[in-house]
Amino acid sequence: MTELLVGTRKGLFLLEGEGGAYDVRARAFAGEPVEYAVRDGRTGLTLASVTSAFYGPKIWITDDVSGDWEQADGVVLPDDGEAALVRIWTIVAGEAEGLLYAGGDPGVLFESRDGGRTWEVNRGLWDQPTRPSWQAGGGGLCLHSIVPWPGDASKLAVGVSAVGVWLTDDGGESWRHGNDGLVPRYLPEDAREDTFDLCVHDLHRAPRRPERLFLQFHGGVYRSDDAGETWIDIAPGLPSDFGFPLAVDPADPDSAYVIPLTADSDRVTPDGRVRVYETRDAGVSWSARGDGLPQGDAYLTVLRQAFDREGEGPGLGLYFGATSGDVFGSTDAGATWFTAASRLPPVYSVRVAPG
Amino acid sequence: MALVKLRAPLRELAGGRTDHSLDGATVGELIHALERAHPALAGWILDERGGIRPHVNVFVNGTHGREDTAVSSDDRVHVLPSISGG
């Protein structure tokens, strides 16, 4: 039995099922935008990012999705500035007991050391001297990707749209760019050198070879073999190098999955066909995986947090949702797919909830 | 004259040409000159108040510019969509 936490424009849905048969087991925050929800497998607690149009962004926490939720403390920006928190984009477990990270807009990283009940801003990143010149993407100045290093809490990579990749080796005390090789084709050539305007869309690490990272860019798919210091373009072979989410098979450091969209100017699945693309050779070649997905008149948009996996190897589970309200799944590493849900509100995030 | 460079879809509204040599002392004056030469561009780069639309970026020699950014005859001015939606 698999549980999926599906954040939508109109609430959080807990789907439960097996194979192709899924049901809505619970709904929370009815009517509110739930940008992200995740269950911490270490504690069993579920955390949700909810941004009320009236009352702003909050993180909520519960041990029962259909029960009561507790508002987390400290999800605010420091007093010594003028910015206000816009939105929390992601919540990720860290590599120490009780350690969690949350990323948000405007380019802010929060840390919790008590399992998510209280949070504080990471000052190392917040106090970057270049911050006044950081440019937001259309989705905001969003810190959307947080990538721990397995077994080492001192190392972390984060992705910010549109301020590129940031790396730390001292637990977030100090940060440096990890952008060499990323090419922002959306800028004039004479504006590209030394620019911060690097629109990372998603970032993932290969757990069994942690120095390897994969990145979906705003025009480009990249791989790093040196822990994010430098990047090489691996998009050739894809129908489009534009898209948002990315996933990896933990068992295979050469694996990555992307869901291409037609282009920056046309953010729907190409040719009216929904296809996930898989590489098993670190991006040298790509194969379409669409068996069971809509293959006609299907113009879907899949957002960056709306793709997740469970398990690994031949039984790798893959799940993604679209703004159409559809959620799709695969339990054979993308070879075949089923529709887990349809007619939900527009899907912002999909995360497999560890049992 | 400054050189204004356009990308799609603005290029198609300006006779299909990427490069446009125009007179003007500021970015705003250049854009107005561009609109006079190619009326189909009216309302695409500047809004009805004369401001550059929020999701349009202008670079003057590789640096972000605004309506009132001064330009000289050797400058290159790129007009292109911002990184929207990312």
**How far is B23 from chain A, CA to nearest CA, in Å?**
21
For position B84, what pLDDT does the model report? 64
**How far is B3 from chain A, CA to nearest CA, in Å?**
13
Q: Rounded CA gap, A15 and A232, in Å?
A: 37
CB atoms within 10 A of CB B45: 24
Which overall architecture, per CATH, does domain A2-353 show? Answer: 7 Propeller (2.130)
**How far is A313 from chain B, CA to nearest CA, in Å?**
31
Query: Mind listing the pLDDT tens digit for each residue in A279-321?
Result: 999 999 999 999 999 999 999 999 999 999 999 999 999 999 9
Inter-chain CB proximity A137 and B81 less than 8 Å: no
Residue B62: list chain A partners with CB under 8 A: 188, 190-191
**Which CA distances in Å does B80 have to A241, A250, A336, B9?**
19, 39, 40, 9
For position B53, what pLDDT does the model report? 87
Q: Which residues on neighbouring strands pair with residue B77, listed in sequence order?
A: B4, B60
Q: Rounded CA gap, B30 and A47, in Å?
A: 51
Query: Mind listing the pLDDT tens digit for each residue in B37-85?
Result: 999 999 889 988 888 988 889 999 999 999 999 999 999 999 998 876 5
- Expressed in angstroms, the distance from the first to the final Cα of chain B is 35
Residue B55: list chain A partners with CB under 8 A: 138
Query: Mind listing the pLDDT tens digit for each residue in A113-168?
Result: 999 999 999 999 999 999 999 988 778 899 999 999 999 999 999 999 999 999 99
Q: Rounded CA gap, A85 and A74, in Å?
A: 11
Q: Rounded CA gap, A26 and A40, in Å?
A: 18
Asked if A309 contacts A285 with a C-beta cutoff of 8 angstroms, the reply is no
Burial A257-293 (b: 16+ CB within 10 A, else e): bbbbbbebeebbbbeebbbbbbbeebbeebeebbebb
For position A105, what pLDDT does the model report? 96
Cis before residue A106, ω within 30 degrees of 0? yes
**How far is B44 from chain A, CA to nearest CA, in Å?**
15
Nearest to A162 by CA among A181, A145, A176: A145
Instruction: Mention every residue, 6+ apart, whose C-beta is less than 8 A from residue A55.
Output: none
Q: Which residues on neighbouring strands pair with residue A140, listed in sequence order?
A: A137
Inter-chain CB proximity B78 and A218 less than 8 Å: no
Phi and psi based region of residue A325 (left: phi greater than 0; alpha: psi -120 to 50; beta: remaining) = left
| CB-count exposure of residue A309 (10 Å: 0-12, 13-18, 19+) | buried
Q: Rounded CA gap, A165 and A158, in Å?
A: 6
Inter-chain CB proximity B83 and A267 less than 8 Å: no
| ipTM of the complex in this document | 0.73
What is the largest distance, in Å, between two alpha-carbon atoms of chain A? 55
The amino acid at residue A59 is I
Is residue A160 within a helix (H) or strand (E), and if so which, with residue range? Answer: strand A152-161
Query: Quick one: CA dihedral A130, A131, A135, A141, positive or negative?
Result: positive
Q: Which residues of chain A have pLDDT under 50?
A: none
What is the largest distance, in Å, between two alpha-carbon atoms of chain B? 35
Q: Tell me the whole-structure pTM to 2 decimals.
A: 0.92
For position A248, what pLDDT does the model report? 98
Asked if A320 contacts A245 with a C-beta cutoff of 8 angstroms, the reply is yes
Q: Which of A161, A188, A264 lies nearest to residue B78, judging by beta carbons?
A: A188
Instruction: Mention every residue, 6+ apart, whose C-beta is less than 8 A from residue A300.
Output: A268, A269, A274, A294, A322, A323, A324, A326
For position B11, what pLDDT does the model report? 94
Tell me phi and psi for residue A25, to 5 degrees: -90, -30
Domain B2-81 CATH superfamily: Beta-grasp domain (3.10.20.30)
For A186, nearest residue in chain B (alpha carbons):
B83
Q: Rounded CA gap, B51 and B29, in Å?
A: 11
Asked if A256 contacts A246 with a C-beta cutoff of 8 angstroms, the reply is yes
For position A73, what pLDDT does the model report? 95
Q: Which of A162, A188, A265 lies nearest to residue B83, judging by beta carbons?
A: A162
Domain limits of chain A? 2-353
Asked if A200 contacts A145 with a C-beta cutoff of 8 angstroms, the reply is yes
Q: Are strands A327-330 and A287-289 parallel, antiparallel or unpaired?
A: unpaired
Share of chain B above pLDDT 70, in %: 97
Please give the torsion angle defined by the CA atoms of residues A298, A300, A306 and A307, in that order, rounded to the nearest 10 degrees: 50
Q: How many helices (H) and strands (E) does chain B have?
A: 2, 5
Q: Rounded CA gap, B27 and B10, in Å?
A: 16
Task: Give the angle subtended at the CA of A345 by the CAs of A110 and A15, to the nearest 5°.
Answer: 75
Q: Rounded CA gap, B42 and A109, in Å?
A: 42
